[in-house]
Amino acid sequence: MRFRFHSFLVAKIVSLFLVMLFMSNCSGPSGTPCELEFEYTITNVDDGFGLNEAQVQLNVEKALSLWSEAIDSLHVRNSADAPITIQFVYDYRQALTNRAIQLEENLDSRRMRIDRMREDLRVAEQRLRSRVSEHEELINRISSRVSALNAFIDERNRAGGLNPGEVSRVESEREVISRLRNQEEQMRERLQQMVATNQRMLDELNREISFSNDLADRFNEEIGPGRYFAGGNFERRGRQGTISIYHFVDERELGLVLAHEIGHALGLGHVENTRSVMYEKVGGQLIAPELRLTAEDTKAIREIAGCGP
């Protein structure tokens, strides 16, 4: 992204002219117009931000108009050899931010997935409980048939032994009991499988919950409110300076980061009000529906511009 609206010479002349304008107005008596100049160029916007040249330009202009409203006029020039360069540097920070944005969008569907998993698990546990009681019933039925059969055999033995008809009845009852035992064994195996399946569902649910919680924590820590202005940086070298933008959640936050770093480039330091654009942390600012300055911001820019009382 390159801007070549002014030749080197023209830009120099414009800049000199502006400095003179600035000096003549701001050294005057109190009550005279107060003005600042801001001459910048956008040197680089990495593709990772997904913003085109016009969008970046618009955001910079919006941030500048915020400051210009607080003073009589802010003379803005966009020229290739301007002292202030603005660059959008895509690195792990925006990559992380983009991931976190996707993550936040995914959190809702993850929560829905967790709810579904919880419901599935609840149904599976109900089914397991009813199967467990069926299994217990079967065990009781087997043991009462075994007791009854043993009691019958004991009784017949005490009376001198079983007759052939009784022997065949005992044999067929033993077969019934053996079939029931097989049935019980199969049922027990199925139950063990169900318990294992439910355990896996529970483990998966817990993993899903803890994964979602970690992601939510990380999002709040790195992207949520209360961070220092790590999304941007202003570095001054004499009359020159570089505004670097590293990450932002959305265009509103980009507006705030730009306004904050441009504030530094205009000469402002941090102010104390948590709602101020120039507060050191992101989060408390008045960004909706439009970004606004606080009285502290206005006072700070007016001091820099040498505005009268």
The minimum distance between CB 63 and Zn ion, in angstroms, equals 14
Whichever of 83 and 232 has its CB closer to Zn ion, that residue is 232
Q: Which stretch binds Zn ion (CB under 5 A): 86-94, 161-169, 224-232, 239-247?
A: 224-232
The minimum distance between CB 296 and Zn ion, in angstroms, equals 14
54: closest CA among 78, 70, 73?
78
Count of residues of this chain found to bind Zn ion when the rule CB under 5 A is applied:
1
34 vs 268: CA distance, rounded Å: 15
The minimum distance between CB 52 and Zn ion, in angstroms, equals 27
Q: Which stretch binds Zn ion (CB under 5 A): 189-197, 213-221, 223-231, 297-305?
A: 223-231
Q: 297 burial class (0-12, 13-18, 19+ CB within 10 angstroms)?
A: buried
What kind and span of H or E run contains 233?
Answer: strand 232-237
Instruction: Tell me if 38 contacts Zn ion by CB under 5 A.
Output: no
48: closest CA among 117, 2, 9, 94?
94
Whichever of 88 and 229 has its CB closer to Zn ion, that residue is 229
The minimum distance between CB 232 and Zn ion, in angstroms, equals 8
R_g of the chain, CA atoms, integer Å: 39
Residue among 88, 229, 248, 279 that touches Zn ion (CB under 5 A) = 229
The residue of the chain with the least Cβ separation from Zn ion equals: 229
49: closest CA among 104, 87, 94, 109?
94
What are the φ/ψ torsions at residue 152 (nearest 5 degrees)? -60, -45
Binding site for Zn ion (CB under 5 A): 229
